[in-house]
Amino acid sequence: MRVITLNVNGIRSAARKGFFAWLSTQNADLVCLQEIRAQAEHLRDGVFWPEGYHCYYAHAQKKGYGGVALYARKRPDEVIEGFGWPEADREGRYLEGRFANLSVASVYVPSGTSGEERQNFKFEFLAHFFAFLRRCRQIGRDYIFCGDFNIAHKTIDLKNWRANQNHSGFLPEERAWMDKLLGQEGWVDAFRVLNQEPDQYTWWSNRGRAWEKNVGWRIDYQILSPSLRDRVRRVEIYRAQRFSDHAPLIIDYDYPF
């Protein structure tokens, strides 16, 4: 089972940069997209409904903002939009497909880089989402949460960590949230199951030739139930083409789909 996640930073922009042509060569079973920045009326072109997939979108109420998508080779038994916190759900930040005992969700955690108000909103989101994840653990399903979490977990996960310790995305409180999630709560960072190397990033600033110099952050994840840890078979951050300021995170699982 191949699962791909990507923050497209505008789905129409990514389409113009060749994302859907590339996707057609990937043989992915599930695709999670974030920050589509489009409403239903913007997605009438067939390119946004790739052949062979059941396609679902959760739009933000605000135009040109947020939004997530889920494409699946197999029709889900159920599709759930939002995780139950209205302030986040109206920004189009969560979309889950259920397939027998497997749930795969596209998640877009808020960024706090625009100022204190949005950083406080991000902290609120993290608190509500943490409680939701705890409930998910109690249900006993297999979960894969794919998306842009807007947090670099450890110093290995961003190039200039010393200079960013007081910046959103690497704040002590954000890192502690991730520590708790991947520690006592038992969730699994799928990429790090197989790849412990440095300089593995999924996002690069558009300033200062960051992409070219690989001065980046690893803020995109596939977060798994403990039951799936031993199912991870291959991980890749795809950089041969650039569709966004993020790179696709591709993970293959030994899991029937």
CA 18 – CA 6 distance, rounded (Å): 14
| Alpha helix segments (H runs only) across the chain | 11-16, 19-23, 86-89, 116-139, 172-182, 190-194, 210-213
CA 147 – CA 223 distance, rounded (Å): 9
CA 127 – CA 193 distance, rounded (Å): 26
Which residue in 29, 142, 148, 157 is the catalytic one?
Answer: 148
CA 107 – CA 93 distance, rounded (Å): 6
**Residue 148 annotated as catalytic:** yes
Amino acid occupying residue 248: P
**What are the phi and psi torsion angles at 14 (to 5°)?**
-60, -40
Cα of first residue to Cα of last residue in the chain, in angstroms, is: 6
DSSP code for 181:
H
SS3 for 56-93 is EEECCCCCCCCCEEEEECCCCCEEEECCCCHHHHCCCC
Catalytic center residues: 148
